[in-house]
Structure 1
Amino acid sequence: MTDPNGLAPLKQFALNDRLANYGDGTFTTMHVSDGKVALLNRHINRLVNDSQALGLTVEAEVIRQVIAAALPERNEGVLKVLIGAGQGGRGYARLAEPNINVAVSWHDVPAVYQSWQQQGIHVGTVPVSLARQPLLAGLKHANRLEQIFIKQALAHTDFDDAIVTDTEQNIIEASAANLFWLVGGQWFTSSLALAGVNGVMRQFILDNCPDIHIIEQQLTEIAHVDAMFLSNALMQIVPVKTLTLGESKRELAIAPVLSLHKSLAQAYVGEYGAA
C-alpha cells in the first residue's frame, strides 16, 4: 500500500506468526453501511490504544488507510481488522522491534440482529466465568478462549445470550456484548476494571448518556431490574425481553430500551465515516 504521508505500511500477516500462535494482537469489528463505517474513529482509536497496551505501536492514519483500501470491495457488511505482532522471537518472547502486520476480512451482518433490536431477546446465565486480569481488562485482544467456552456453553441452552460474570460473581458483560440495566429510572453498566471488553458502542453510549452509572454489581443483585439491554458495534442496542436467573424467569420492559436507542439515533448517524 502506498502511503502519501511517509508512514510505514502494515503487511499481510502469515498464519504462523504471533497473532495465530498466541493471540498476540488486537482486533475490531465494524459495521459498514453505504460504504461508510459506523463509529469509525472509535474503532481506529481502539486499535491504536489497545495495541499500545500490548506494547505494539501503530499509527491511526495507517489504520485509516487500511480501512479505506478495504471499503471499495463492499458497500454493506462487517469489516474486521486485526493487528498482529508479526513473526519472530523465541517462544512467547517477541523480537525487540516487532514487525507489526494486519489482516482484513469481510462478513455478513447477522440477520437476526434486526429482529432482536425490535422484539428483544431471552437472556440467562452459563457456568463459565471470566478471569480477573487488570492488564487485559477492557482490551479487544485476539486471545478470546474464554468467549469460545462461553459460546459453547450457551449452545446448550435456549437463551439468545447470557450474562457473564467474573470469578467473584460480578456482572461483566454478555458473550460478545456489553450490558446495561435499569433500576428505578436509573441506568447502570458494569465496571470493566478487572475483566471484559470496553466496546466501542459502550463508549458511544456512555459519552452520550453521562447519567449512566458504572458500578460493580453482583449477579444476585439484579433479579429485580426493570429493563436491560446488550450493546456492541454490530447489534447496536438489543433489549432483553426475558431474563432467567436460576429458577426465576421474568419479563422485562423493552420500551425504555427502545426509547434510549431512539434518542441516540442522530448522534449515531453523525459518527459514520468514510475513512
Structure 2
Amino acid sequence: MASSSTVRYRVNGHPHDLVSVRDRGLAYGDGLFETIRVVNGRATLLERHLGRLGRGMSVLRIEMPLTSLRSELEAAAVELGEGLLKQIVTRGEAGRGYAMPAIAEPTRILQLLPPPEYPAAHTLKGIRLFPCATRLAHQPLLAGLKHLNRLEQVLARSEWQDSGHAEGLMCDMAGHPVEGTMSNLLLRLDGRWVTPDLRHCGVRGVMRDYLMDQLAAEGEPVLERSVTLDELLACDELVCCNSVFGVWPVVGLGDRKWAVGPGARRLQVFSEQVLS
C-alpha cells in the first residue's frame, strides 16, 4: 500500500482515460458522482457514499449493482493508500436525443487522486465565505443528489479568485442560504444546531448526515429547516463541512465576523473520527 502522487484512471474496471463521445454523461450530465476520502487504505464513509449513489441511481433510473462497485472501491482504496477516489457513474452510450435508451450499459469512471492540499489554517483558524451571486434553482426531484449537472457551482466558484476566501455561500432564488459551493452548512442558532432544508435544491452531503447522526446520538438532534440570511448572520457559530476536508469553522462573511467556538471544535472531533 503506497500513497499516490499521480492521478490514475479506470473506465469500467480497466486502466483507461478515455470515454466515448456518445456517453450521456458528457452529452447531458446524465449521471452521478461521489468523491471519497481514502485514509490508510480505507474508503471513509463508504456505506454512506454508496447509499447516496444508490438513491441517485434510483431517481435517474440507472441500473447497476452496488455490490461489485463496493468491491472495486475497496480494492482501489487499498491500492491508493492515501488520497481521494472519485467515482462517476453515467447512463452510458446512446444516440442523439433526450429519451433514455431502452437498453443501457452504465459507464463507470474511477479516478485515483492524491490527497488534497488544504491549508491547516482552514481547520485551526477558520475560513471566510464569499457571498456568491449565483443562485440555486429549485428542482425537488434532483434535490439532495450529487448528479453531474454542477454548472451552478462552477459559476459560483468563478466569482472569486483571491486566497482570502476558501468557500462560497450559495443561496436559492428566494435568497435563503442553502450550502457552500462544495460543502454543507451547520449553524448554532438559539442554543441548537440548525442546517438548511434541502428538499428543493442543494446536495445532501455525506459528512452532513454523519454529523447529524452523531449529534442525535448524543441527544442533540439537528433542526432541518429553511434559514434566512438574517438568521445566518445572527447565529453564534457557523461551519462548513464535507467528506473530504471534514469541518471548517466560518469566521467571516462580508462584514460579519465569528469566533471559532466550542461547537465547531466538537464537530471537528466527530469528523476526525472517520477521516483520520
TM exceeds 0.5?
yes
Answer whether contact 2:207 2:271 (CA < 8 A) is retained: no
Q: Pairwise mapping of residues 121-140 of structure 1 onto structure 2 (< 5 A)?
A: 121-140=127-146
Structure 1 stretch displaced more, 132-141 or 113-122 = 113-122
Superposition deviation, residue 115 in structure 1 = 2.8
Is 1:212 the counterpart of 2:218? The answer is no
Q: Report the equivalent of 1:85.
A: 91
Say what the alpha-carbon RMSD is for the aligned residues: 2.1
Corresponding residue of 1:234: 244
TM-score (norm 2): 0.87
2:112 aligns with 106
CA distance in 1, matches of 2:176, 2:267: 25
Whole-angstrom distance in 2 between the partners of 1:58 and 1:209: 33
Provide the rounded CA distance (Å) in 2 between the counterparts of 1:36 and 1:192.
Answer: 29
Contact 2:144 2:204 in 1 (8 A): yes
Correspondence 1:166 to 2:172: yes
TM-score (norm 1): 0.87
1:14 corresponds in structure 2 to 19
Letter in 2 for 1:73: E
Aligned to 1:198: 204
Alignment of 1:28-43 (within 5 A): 28-43=34-49
1:255 partner amino acid? P
**Of 98-107 and 249-258, the range deviating more from structure 2:** 249-258
Q: Which runs of 5+ in 1 are unaligned?
A: 1-8
* 1:154 pairs with 2:164: no
State the Cα deviation string for residues 169-204 of structure 1 (Å, max 9, x = none). 111100100000112321110100000000111111
1:249 matched residue in structure 2:
256
Report which structure shows greater RCO (CA 8 Å, sep ≥6): 1
The alignment partner of 1:139 has SS state of coil
Q: What is residue 224 of structure 1 aligned with on the other side?
A: 234
Whether contact under 8 Å (2:215, 2:222) holds in the other structure is: yes
TM superposition shift of 1:264? 5.5
Distance across 1 between alignment mates of 2:120 and 2:27? 35
Report which stretch shifted further, 214-223 or 175-184. Answer: 214-223
Please give the alpha-carbon distance, in whole angstroms, between the structure 2 residues aligned to 1:224 and 1:47: 35
Match of 1:117 in 2: 123
Name 1:259's counterpart in structure 2: 266
Q: Between 101-110 and 23-32, report the one with greater CA deviation.
A: 101-110
